[in-house]
Amino acid sequence: MFAQTLDTNSPQIDTALLVLRVIFGVFFAIHGFNKVRSGIAGTVGWFAGIGMKWPGLQARMAAGTEIIAGLFLALGLFTPLAAAAILGVMVVATWTAHRSNGFFIYNNGWEYTVSIGVLAIAVGMSGPGRFSLDAALGWERADWLGAVVVLVLGLGAGIGQLLAFYRPPADQ
């Protein structure tokens, strides 16, 4: 009974992918929406405080990316690109705001941001599943190309953001 393999085209796998995509995608979009909910000024100030050059632009880009990528992930639309965008944001968040605080989230550590990044890689690798707009449009892919897209674009975008825009304060 336990030695039986699960069919990768099973409704259980597709349902599990749907649950992961919707929950993490909606949560990610809400996180971005929270940056603009009561005015972006607080987020701009925070970005300036952690050393982001052009914090107004960076705050808006982060919020917009989180909202759009989160919604696209939840819908299973352009899934590898949505997952790459999420990974890119998590690379920047991990490096700028969480890495120096240790592992655990209760100390504002990197545990949660890296977990979301790994989830994005896994969804890019597995594809969005049959219960997605990508599948409905005939765009679903479940191969290594999705993982490569997520890793190359996501890591590239995150590292590029850091190289171009991150200037840590002198006390860091």
What is the percentage of the chain residues whose pLDDT exceeds 70? 93
What is the percentage of the chain residues whose pLDDT exceeds 90? 82
What pLDDT score does 142 carry? 67
What would the mean pLDDT of 125-129 be, rounded to a whole number? 91
What pLDDT score does 1 carry? 46
pLDDT digits (tens, 9 = 90+) for 7-22: 567 889 999 999 999 9
In single-letter form, the type of residue at position 38 comes to S
Q: Residues 6 or more apart from 135 whose CB is under 8 A from it?
A: 76, 128, 129
Please, how many CA atoms are within 13 Å of residue 114, restricted to the half-sphere of its CB? 11
> What mean pLDDT, rounded, does the chain reach?
92
Task: Give the ranges where the chain is alpha helix by DSSP (H).
Answer: 11-37, 41-50, 55-75, 79-93, 111-126, 133-136, 144-149, 156-165
What would the mean pLDDT of 36-60 be, rounded to a whole number? 94
Whether residue 151 is predicted with pLDDT greater than 60 in this model: the reply is yes
What pLDDT score does 5 carry? 52
What would the mean pLDDT of 24-42 be, rounded to a whole number? 95
